[in-house]
């Protein structure tokens, strides 16, 4: 396990497609796991109080309320719709993971979201 540098993050974000960039921004800013993003419902997001609630997980510690940074708030505020935060076949966890792996290979990076 290693920490991605700011330079690597900047390069990654510059080359990522919009969906991957949005998901990566939420992950970097909140520490939310990719699967948690795609299983989040609109009612788990409170934009007025600037937090997202993760209601499920393997342990009681996985269920948590996460404050939103300005960057995460901006992305989630733009994407929020009633129902799931991400909907449709192009916005599944597997699609994002494939795009992430392809981008990392292209850039010569080796890290997990």
Q: How confident is the model at residue 5 (pLDDT cuts 50, 70, 90)?
A: very high
Contacts of 24 (CB under 8 A, 6+ apart): 12, 13, 16, 100, 113
How many CB atoms neighbour CB 42 within 10 A? 13
Please count the helices (runs of H) and the strands (runs of E) in the chain: 5, 3
Q: What is the pLDDT of residues 57-93, one digit of tens each?
A: 788 888 899 999 999 999 988 887 766 666 655 567 8
Catalogue all structural domains in the chain, each as residue range(s) with its CATH number.
6-107 (1.10.443.10)
In this structure, the strands spanning 64-67 and 51-54 are antiparallel
């Amino acid at each position: 396990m290693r920490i991605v540098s700011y330079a690597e993050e900047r390069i990654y974000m510059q080359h990522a497609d919009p969906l991957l960039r949005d998901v990566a921004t939420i992950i970097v800013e909140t520490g939310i796991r990719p699967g948690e993003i795609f299983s989040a419902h609109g009612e788990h997001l409170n934009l007025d109080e600037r937090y997202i609630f993760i209601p499920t997980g393997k342990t009681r510690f996985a269920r948590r309320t996460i404050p939103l940074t300005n960057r995460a708030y901006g992305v989630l505020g733009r994407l929020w719709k009633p129902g799931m935060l991400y909907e449709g076949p192009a916005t599944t966890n597997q699609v994002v993971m494939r795009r992430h792996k392809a981008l990392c290979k292209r850039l010569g990076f080796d890290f997990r979201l």
